[in-house]
Amino acid sequence: MSIKNIIETKVKEGFLALYNIEIPSVEFQATRKEFEGDITLVVFPLLRYKKGNPVQIGEDLGKYVLENVTEITSYNVVKGFLNLVIDDGFYTKFFNSIYLDSSYGYVSPIADEKAMMVEYSSPNTNKPLHLGHVRNNLLGYSVAEIIKAAGKKVYKTQIINDRGIHICKSMLAWEKFGNGETPTSSGLKGDKLVGNYYVKFDQEYKKEISQSISEGKTEEEAKKEAPLLLEAQQMLLKWEAGDEQVVSLWKEMNSWVYNGFEVTYKNMGVDFDTLYYESNTYLLGKDVVAQGIKKGVFYKKEDGSIWCDLTDDGLDEKIVLRSDGTAVYMTQDIGTAIQRVKDFPDVGGMVYTVGNEQDYHFQVLFLILKKLGFDWSKQLHHLSYGMVDLPSGKMKSREGTVVDADELMLEMTDTAKTISEELGKLEGYSKEEKSELYKTIGLGALKYFILKVDPKKRILFDPKSSVDFQGNTGPFIQYTYARIQSIVRKADFDYSKSVTIKLHEKEKELLKQLELYPDTIQQAAANYSPAIVANYTYDLVKEFNSFYQNVSILGEENQDKKIFRVQLANKVAETIKSAFLLLGINVPERM
């Protein structure tokens, strides 16, 4: 049990003993540098349960905790803040208990507890992955790893949006303008080739609209009646009817895209346990809609379209099947969710990693599943995240103004190479070692830049500043890890034995930060936020660098102190590596 948990238990116990009042929670913060203390209890929130002078309440609780928690040696009250001093012995004992624990901070899965399924990526098969997909993949993968570390079984999945009008647009454009071009004949990755035809469709579609407007039609009429769009809509109907020629082309072009995606995922360092395809799950969704009509969850309009009336729940009416019988996204998502629980009966909840422009969609989806009577619908979470902007503005796939994921990763590697060569610290590295290091630094910079930001916030992405070797960046943290490895390699003595020393102030501060790691993982899992892990790691690194600048490690004359400091540095490095693995980031042994 962490010292914070020990103190919280005693504060609750003390509040009941002193005032005969039960309190649900206690708020802590780090003690400000100008005051004596290691952890601070914030008294003000307790005034809602017990009216009175916050200083006096702080004194009462301080005295109670001092008498009942052996690890507390003294306390002081400053206004509404109770500062508690923790005995050095607690921290040395704590350190000795974790030093050899290679899985420190992680919790083993609890037997018989329901698993979580985390969905991310979920691309359309009409274009390559771009910067927005990068944030999606990094968030989803990291959240899955964090939930796993917090003690739950996790399945990573995606739904591949391989059907719909957008897919038909690429197919139609290829049919009309492709001249039989293939990834092999063009030398292009399959997803990029297909994406080019999605852009081509939009270009030709706009020409048709302009032509119609010049002939006197309104813009709305021109958009609806454009021959290309009508052909694409007809192709979708043929596909859903199982037209052999359309289905054959669909399979071939999708296979090009899947091969391209596979390369991107491998380079990005993300993976999946299972895949779902919209072309399969929409059929189950249509069956569920038919059953839902009998249950009174859905109703049919005069034109034959099927809807769900959610107005009593503060939402609106939502279409789940078009009048021509074709499915909408909601149909597919209903079917996918149900299919997943059929396939994995131990799944008790799901996390959907999807941008915040779909907030309303998931509100509706979760409510419909609840109305259909599925218990697990209470454990569905939309990991809603903000868009990624560029200095030049918002990206648009159909216009081809996107940052391609593959090109971005290459650019990050090149930027890391340029900056590393300018710093000139790579003497003795082989060409292969340098190449691997540039990739590790570049991808680490990209991932950290994106993951250190709260998912709900928009990001303005600046590749160059993300590769800075100073400040809150991936390379700065990687460099600290490599520096510690250099210290450990130079430690030419046995530092394996446990020692007891009087702690230096900087050692104690570093141990306090290490002690927060398990709670950090739990907090990040509960909030579906890799940013909590990322910023914890930066704080740990800052604390280590302060320790490194203020105390001697290998130059220390006292052997026990030297042993302890090497052990402490080594554990910090282990924790950096462990935390970065949760973010999908590698750390280099040398930099």
205: in domain: yes
Boundary-marking domain end, from 86, 112, 138: 86
Confirm whether 265 is domain-assigned.
Answer: yes
DSSP string covering 195-245: HHHHHHHHHHHHHHHHHHHHTT--HHHHHHH-HHHHHHHHHHHHHHTT-HH
- Per the domain annotation, does 591 fall within a domain? no
Do 158 and 15 lie in one domain? The reply is no
Q: Report if residue 108 sits inside a domain.
A: no
| Cα three-residue angle 548-554-560, rounded to 5 degrees | 100
Please write the tens of the pLDDT for every residue from 551-565. 999 999 999 999 999
Residue 94 lies in a domain: no
| pLDDT tens readout for residues 7-24 | 999 999 999 999 999 999
Q: What per-residue confidence (pLDDT) applies to 421?
A: 83
Q: Tokens 């159909």 belong to which residue?
A: 398
The pLDDT-based confidence of 235 (bands split at 50, 70, 90) is: very high
Residues 438 and 556 in one domain: yes
Does the pLDDT value for residue 81 go beyond 60? yes
Residue 417 shares a structural domain with residue 304: no
Q: Are residues 262 and 313 in the same domain?
A: yes
**pLDDT on residue 397:** 44
pLDDT (average), residues 475-504? 94
Range of the domain at 496: 405-582
Indicate if 345 and 435 belong to the same structural domain: no
Residues 345 and 469 in one domain: no
pLDDT (0 to 100) of residue 393: 52
Cβ–Cβ under 8 Å, residues 127 and 198: yes
Instruction: For residue range 400-429, list pLDDT tens digits in order.
Output: 457 889 999 999 999 899 888 887 777 788
- Asked, for residue 105, whether it belongs to a domain, the answer is no
Q: Are 235 and 169 in contact (CB under 8 A)?
A: no
pTM: 0.91
Note whether residue 115 is domain-resident: no
pLDDT at residue 422 in the model: 81
Closest CA to 387 of 399, 400, 398, 403: 403
Domain boundary among 36, 64, 86: 86
Overall size of the chain counted in residues: 591
The answer for residues whose C-beta is within 8 angstroms of residue 494's C-beta and 6 or more apart is: none
**In terms of domains, do 418 and 341 share one?**
no
The predicted-structure confidence for 152-161, as pLDDT tens digits, reads as follows: 999 999 999 8
**Three-state SS for 383?**
strand
Domain CATH for 258: 3.40.50.620
Low-confidence winner among 427-431, 436-440, 443-447 (lowest mean pLDDT): 427-431
User: Do 170 and 198 contact (CB within 8 A), yes or no?
Assistant: yes
pLDDT tens digits for 562-580? Answer: 999 999 999 999 999 999 9
Residues 131 and 262 in one domain: yes
Please indicate, yes or no, whether residues 411 and 358 belong to a single structural domain of this protein. Answer: no
CATH of the domain at 507: 1.10.730.10
Q: Which amino acid is at 539?
A: D
Residues 198 and 252 in one domain: yes
Tell me the pLDDT band of 392, cut-offs 50, 70 and 90. low
Whether residue 467 is contained in a domain is answered as: yes
Query: What does pLDDT average to over the chain?
Result: 93
Instruction: Look at residue 514 and give its three-state secondary structure.
Output: helix
* 495 and 532 both lie in a single domain: yes
Where does a domain end: 36, 71, 86?
A: 86
Whether 62 shows a pLDDT value over 70: the answer reads yes
Domain count, the chain: 3
The answer, yes or no, to whether residue 318 has pLDDT greater than 90, is yes
Same-domain check for residues 518 and 560: yes
First-to-last CA distance in the chain?
37
Give the three-state DSSP class for 458.
Answer: coil
